[in-house]
């Protein structure tokens, strides 16, 4: 025990150092990464946005970042499956904490998120955001597009989120349509996986419905995503309700008939050829969860996103 420390999120002296906290103890940053607002020398940033005022059904996703961080403690510092590597041996990752929002002035929320995300992206090439409801993806896209230009959107979700709005609504069900109308994403190169509802318009985005996901092999879904995006820089957004409620009960708008966490994780693993410039995991609402099932799924999806970025960095170096 002499060489071991606890509270690695505070005591780490190197951003690439391994944590030795017991799984059941210690400060719960995401995967025990150091909590800091310093962006110097950082390859990737994990950031929480505890916001759920845009939900149309059950609230509670404001507690999602906390739940995902807590669940991520199950990842020790052995090579992470299925990437066969210590994700942090060559990739400096920090936990930037949470976005400070004024719960009494929701009209300020989009600008606050966009401004802070822009600051982070000025110093880091990869931002992984923990939500929060799905509205947060719209200001995140604005910040990413300002740096990278228009993006392809790869969206795992039970809902299309293309409902029309007036450009002013705070609504988690319309951010995709708004992003298309504002030219943030290229609809011809964007794709939605796991859709199990209907919206008035598809905005020209390729849809892979829930029953199609059921019939397809994971590798074929990955190949379809890669080919459809056509090499365009990509933003990856994962609404946890993409998964069947059996695998993610803790969410605001669950929809039966979805895929298993095992299948979708296999799909994610096959996306190593995507040029992913940013990502988020949203709609984890722990008040409706059981035994941290949803939080564990969300934390694992987030870990896969970091794993894909670690592989991309390794190819570049």
Please give the C-alpha separations between residue 187 and each of 121, 190, 207, in angstroms, as whole numbers. Answer: 24, 5, 11
Q: What is the mean pLDDT of the chain?
A: 95
- Residue 142: which residues within 8 A CB-CB, separation 6 or more? 114, 182, 184
Q: Which helix (H) or strand (E) holds 301?
A: helix 293-316
Window from 11-20, 112-121, 201-210 with minimum mean pLDDT: 11-20
Residue 80 is given by DSSP the state B
Question: Is the alpha carbon torsion for 112, 280, 124, 93 positive or negative?
Answer: positive
| Domain extent for 176 | 8-316
In a domain, residue 3? The reply is no
Banded pLDDT at 164 (limits 50, 70, 90): confident
- Residue 17: which residues within 8 A CB-CB, separation 6 or more? 8, 88
Higher pLDDT, 241 or 10: 241
Report the chain's C-alpha Rg in angstroms.
18
In a domain, residue 69? The reply is yes
Q: Which helix (H) or strand (E) holds 229?
A: helix 218-229
The reply, when asked if residue 309 is annotated as ligand binding, is no
* Distance, first Cα to last Cα, the chain: 35
Residues 317, 314: Cα–Cα separation, whole Å: 5
| CB neighbour burial string for 46-70, b if at least 16 within 10 angstroms, e if fewer | bbbbbbbbbbeeeebbbbbbbbbbb
Over the stretch 173-224, which tens digit does the pLDDT of each residue have? 889 999 999 999 999 999 999 999 999 899 999 999 999 999 999 999 999 9
The reply, when asked if residue 78 is annotated as ligand binding, is no
Q: In 3-state terms, what secondary structure has residue 125?
A: coil
The reply, when asked if residue 239 is annotated as ligand binding, is yes
Window from 5-9, 26-30, 224-228, 313-317 with minimum mean pLDDT: 313-317
Instruction: State yes or no: pLDDT of 1 exceeds 70.
Output: no
The answer to whether 213 and 156 have CB atoms below 8 angstroms apart is no
Instruction: State yes or no: pLDDT of 76 exceeds 90.
Output: no
In a domain, residue 252? The reply is yes
Q: What is the pLDDT of residue 4?
A: 81
Average pLDDT of span 3-29:
89
Over the stretch 165-181, which tens digit does the pLDDT of each residue have? 888 888 888 899 999 99
Number of structural domains (the chain) is 1
Q: Alpha helix (H) ranges present in 35-168? A: 64-71, 109-123, 137-148
In a domain, residue 60? The reply is yes
Instruction: State yes or no: pLDDT of 55 exceeds 80.
Output: yes
The answer to whether 147 and 230 have CB atoms below 8 angstroms apart is no
The reply, when asked if residue 188 is annotated as ligand binding, is no
In a domain, residue 1? The reply is no
Residues 178, 144: Cα–Cα separation, whole Å: 15
Higher pLDDT, 76 or 293: 293
Q: What is the pLDDT of residue 171?
A: 86
Average pLDDT of span 90-101:
96
Q: What's the CATH code of the domain at 37?
A: 3.40.800.10
Over the stretch 243-295, which tens digit does the pLDDT of each residue have? 999 999 999 999 999 999 999 999 999 999 999 999 999 999 999 999 999 99
Window from 68-82, 142-156, 249-263, 265-279 with minimum mean pLDDT: 68-82
Q: What is the pLDDT of residue 165?
A: 85
In a domain, residue 198? The reply is yes
Residues 80, 176: Cα–Cα separation, whole Å: 32
The reply, when asked if residue 106 is annotated as ligand binding, is no
Strand partners, 90: none
The answer to whether 52 and 59 have CB atoms below 8 angstroms apart is yes
The reply, when asked if residue 157 is annotated as ligand binding, is yes
Of the candidates 143, 170, 154, 174, which has an alpha carbon nearest to the alpha carbon of residue 305? 154
The answer to whether 129 and 151 have CB atoms below 8 angstroms apart is no
3-state SS, one letter per residue, for 88-108 = CCCCCEEEEEECCCCCCCHHH
Banded pLDDT at 316 (limits 50, 70, 90): confident
Q: Is the pTM of this model over 0.75?
A: yes
Instruction: State yes or no: pLDDT of 2 exceeds 70.
Output: no
The answer to whether 222 and 213 have CB atoms below 8 angstroms apart is no
Percent of the chain's residues with pLDDT above 70: 99
In a domain, residue 197? The reply is yes
Q: What is the pLDDT of residue 25?
A: 92
């Amino acid at each position: 025990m002499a060489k071991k420390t606890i509270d690695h999120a505070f005591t780490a002296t190197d951003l690439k150092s391994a944590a030795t906290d017991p799984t059941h103890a210690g400060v719960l940053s995401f995967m025990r990464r150091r909590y800091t607002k310093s962006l110097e020398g950082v390859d990737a940033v994990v950031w929480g946005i505890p916001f759920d005022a845009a939900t149309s059904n059950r609230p509670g996703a404001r507690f999602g970042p906390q739940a995902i961080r807590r669940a991520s403690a199950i990842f020790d510092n052995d090579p992470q499956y299925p990437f066969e590597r210590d994700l942090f041996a060559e990739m400096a990752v920090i936990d930037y904490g949470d976005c400070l929002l004024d719960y009494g002035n929701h009209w300020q929320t989009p600008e606050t998120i966009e401004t802070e995300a822009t600051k982070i992206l000025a110093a880091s090439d990869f931002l992984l955001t923990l939500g929060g409801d799905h509205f947060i993806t719209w200001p995140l896209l604005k910040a990413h597009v300002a740096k990278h230009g228009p993006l392809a959107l790869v969206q795992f979700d039970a809902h299309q989120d293309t409902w029309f709005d007036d450009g002013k609504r705070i609504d988690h069900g319309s951010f995709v349509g708004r992003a298309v109308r504002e030219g943030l994403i290229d609809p011809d190169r964007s794709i939605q996986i796991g859709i199990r509802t209907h919206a008035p318009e598809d905005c020209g985005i390729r849809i892979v419905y829930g029953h199609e996901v059921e019939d397809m092999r994971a590798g074929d879904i990955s190949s379809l995503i890669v080919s459809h995006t056509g090499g365009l820089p990509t933003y990856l957004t994962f609404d946890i309700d993409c998964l069947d409620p059996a695998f993610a009960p803790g969410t605001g708008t669950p929809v039966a008939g979805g895929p298993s966490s095992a299948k979708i994780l296999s799909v994610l693993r096959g996306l190593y050829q995507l040029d992913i410039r940013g990502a988020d995991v949203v709609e984890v609402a722990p008040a409706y969860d059981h035994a941290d099932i949803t939080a564990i799924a969300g934390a694992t999806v987030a870990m896969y996103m970091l794993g894909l970025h670690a592989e991309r960095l390794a190819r570049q170096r």
